[in-house]
Amino acid sequence: MPSTSYLIAVLAIVFTITLALRAAPFAVLGRLRGSAIVQKLSLWMPVGILMILAVSALHGTMTKDAHGAWYAPLAVAVTIAVHLAFGRRTILSVGAGTAVYVVLLNTL
């Protein structure tokens, strides 16, 4: 087991690096706020990240459970429909899609 001073030093270094990496974008963003690239990234990056998360989650779900392979796309369709029909309320749409998936998975 490493000594206490070694662990404290490692934690201090990790804390400093993490704080610097999280603060750096905010320090630079002030100068780049008017940039067209930053404006496009702010529009498309959240959508891209959510798309990557959705595809990876659906791929994992559909390949591991052949019986429920169609439950996930159906839940995604419900999520999209609720999101568009009820004024783009994220909590409502994600909750409805999750509920549909859980019900289908546990009843059929």
Return d(Cα 19, Cα 62) in angstroms, integer.
38
What is the pLDDT at residue 60? 79
Residue 66 scores a pLDDT above 80: no
Segment 81-107 shows an average pLDDT of: 90
Domain locations in the chain? 50-107
Answer yes or no: are the C-beta atoms of 64 and 97 closer than 8 Å.
Answer: no
pLDDT, averaged across the chain: 87
pTM over 0.85: no
Bigger pLDDT: 54 vs 11: 11
Going by pLDDT thresholds of 50, 70 and 90, the confidence category of residue 103 is: very high
pLDDT recorded at residue 36 = 87
User: Average pLDDT in the 47-74 region?
Assistant: 83
